[in-house]
Amino acid sequence: MLNLIIKDFKITKKINVIFFIYALGMAFVAIKSQAKHPGTLYIMSLILIVYISLLYANGYDGKYKIHIALNSMPVKKKNIVFSKYLSMIVYLAFYFLVMFIGSNVFGIIFNNTDNVISIWDFVICFNAMTIFYALYYPLYYKVNKDKLAMLNFGIYITVLIIPTLFTKFMKSSLGHTFLMSVSRVNNINTIHLIFLLVAIVLQIISVEISFRIYSRKEFY
């Protein structure tokens, strides 16, 4: 299974370099700009990085019919499916670590350690990405190539538009009111942990559904 995850990283090695620099750049911006809500910048950046990385890796698998090759090898189908879910976690953990180191270094240099990325930023990203891919991967294995391309295009455009819309929303009076309301919520971290539990349960169910679909699918 480890080799399957390494395969995805090798496929995306070119954009990994770009995203490595981008992650450090976002850490620098969050620290240097002294943003009031740096967590939002970290979270949006991580989600974008992980999504595009997996989109590229999954697209490569489809274009070059990697699944045909994998099914001709002595590799368990459940491991093939499970590795896709694990790849998301590995990508997220890797780029979180990059931002964590970068933001701490920049925070010390610019004397602004209050804006370093936190473990709760990771938890929020993990929850969002896990729930998203719990819904996405069963469709990824179920629909045909043409429908998958349309689905990916729609999601890709949405992912690109959301940061702009979110930024405008946050600058509006309604967005400001929303932030103030969230900041007043007691035990917000408890809510994050509840969503974490929900995300894990959904992923377990999703893995089983994806495996059943994949085990019955014919690749040609």
Give the tens place of pLDDT for each residue, 176-186: 787 677 667 77
Please determine, for residue 97, whether its predicted confidence score (pLDDT) is greater than 80: yes
Going 169 to 170 to 171 to 177, the CA torsion angle's sign is positive
Q: In the prediction, which pLDDT does 182 show?
A: 67
Give the tens place of pLDDT for each residue, 160-209: 888 788 778 777 888 778 767 766 777 788 889 999 999 999 999 999 99
Share of the chain above pLDDT 70, in %: 96
Alpha helices in the chain (DSSP H): 2-11, 13-32, 38-63, 66-71, 77-109, 119-142, 145-171, 173-183, 188-216
Q: What is the mean pLDDT of residues 109-117?
A: 93
- Give the list of residues 6+ apart from residue 44 with CB closer than 8 angstroms, or none: 162, 163, 166
Share of the chain above pLDDT 90, in %: 62
CB 102 within 8 A of CB 28: yes
Please tell me the pTM assigned to this model. 0.89
- CA terminus-to-terminus distance, the chain: 23
**What's the CA gap between 200 and 136, in Å, rounded?**
15
Give the count of alpha carbons within 13 A of 158, CB side only. 8
Q: In the prediction, which pLDDT does 183 show?
A: 65
- Which amino acid does the sequence have at 171? K
Burial label for 88, CB within 10 Å (0-12, 13-18, 19+), is buried
Give the tens place of pLDDT for each residue, 42-93: 999 999 999 999 999 999 988 888 888 888 888 899 999 999 999 999 999 9
Q: In the prediction, which pLDDT does 130 show?
A: 97
Q: What is the mean pLDDT of residues 146-151?
A: 88
Q: What is the mean pLDDT of residues 11-15?
A: 93
Question: Structure tokens of 22?
Answer: 């981008």
**What's the CA gap between 176 and 103, in Å, rounded?**
25
Q: In the prediction, which pLDDT does 220 show?
A: 62
